[in-house]
Amino acid sequence: MFIIETYTTAVLFSLITMVCWGSWANTQKLASSSWRFELFYWDYVLGIVLLALVFGLTLGSIGTGGRGFIPDLMQGDSGALFSALWGGIVFNAANILLGAAIAISGMAVAFPVGIGLALVIGVVVNYLENPIGNPGILFTGVALVAAAIILNAKTYRSLNQARSNPPTKGLLLSLIAGVLMGFFYKYVADSMFLDFNQPIPGKLSPYSAVFVFSLGILLSNFLFNTLLMKRPFVGTPVSYSDYGKGTFKTHWTGILGGVIWCVGMSFSIIAADKAGPAISYGLGQGATMVAAFWGVVVWKEFKGLPPSKSYLLYLMFACFLSGLGLIIYSKLA
């Protein structure tokens, strides 16, 4: 299977993860004018499964290192398979709540609050499992990210002072999603052998782990998203027959969103070998900054913010950038 060899490459892969995880929601925004989130999400999940399978059959099946994709899946023990599957279930619950929060409050709010909180929780949880990196520098970086979350909340509050009906439900959903999102990565990492050149019997390769993880998302979606279709957070209920009315463009927009997200997930897991799960996950969850950039610059979600409060946005981005820099440096110190 394909294995990266250096920490520098691992950082590059993690930064690509950051861009992918911070950008996939643009496909939801593009489809939202004519396509409900609950229907979009079926295509999104399909995109995740397809990309995980393609990566397994290609990158996961080449080279002499590690263990090939199909043989690896066949030898995985029940504990490893369930851990990766459970990671997909936990992620799906979190991501559905995050998607609903995006629909209500926009990317510039849902991502900094939800994914920012997930970053803080996820780095702590994954570091306790695999303590790689200088803890003082790593957690200082995490603290700066937490400061950025607080600044985002202050900016959001300043913006809502000019609104008669602030979408507080979206903020609450972002918080719940963030707590759940902070734990899913640990279960996927626990299912793998973390030295990819030294396969452990029963444990999974990164490619097998991501594929089983994607199956957890797909299987749980029949419960989670079906419930959401019947009792949506926003709008009227939708049915499976409504899904069949989608155009080629709307379906492929959702699939593209899932492919983009799964490229990020796969690269993050591949990078965990050389960077460690805490750093790999932490850098990827810098997606918050990328999504906030899209929300502010492209989607104009903070339009109407009082000019006297615009400095809060600059401080938010400065804290994120500084925090990410420290997270990267923590492995080198």
* C-beta atoms surrounding 49 within 10 Å: 20
263 vs 157, which has greater pLDDT?
263
User: What residue spans define the domains of the chain?
Assistant: 7-329
Percent of the chain at pLDDT > 70 equals 94
Q: For residue 166, is pLDDT > 60?
A: no
CA–CA gap between residue 206 and residue 232 (Å, rounded): 34
For 275-305, write each residue's pLDDT tens digit: 999 999 988 887 777 877 787 777 676 777 7
CA–CA gap between residue 319 and residue 327 (Å, rounded): 12
Task: Kindly state the average pLDDT of the residues 186-210.
Answer: 95
Model pLDDT, residue 282: 87
For residue 196 the two structure tokens come to 């990819």
Model pLDDT, residue 48: 98
Q: For residue 163, is pLDDT > 70?
A: no
Q: Are 23 and 29 within 8 A, CB to CB?
A: no
For 219-234, write each residue's pLDDT tens digit: 999 999 999 999 988 7
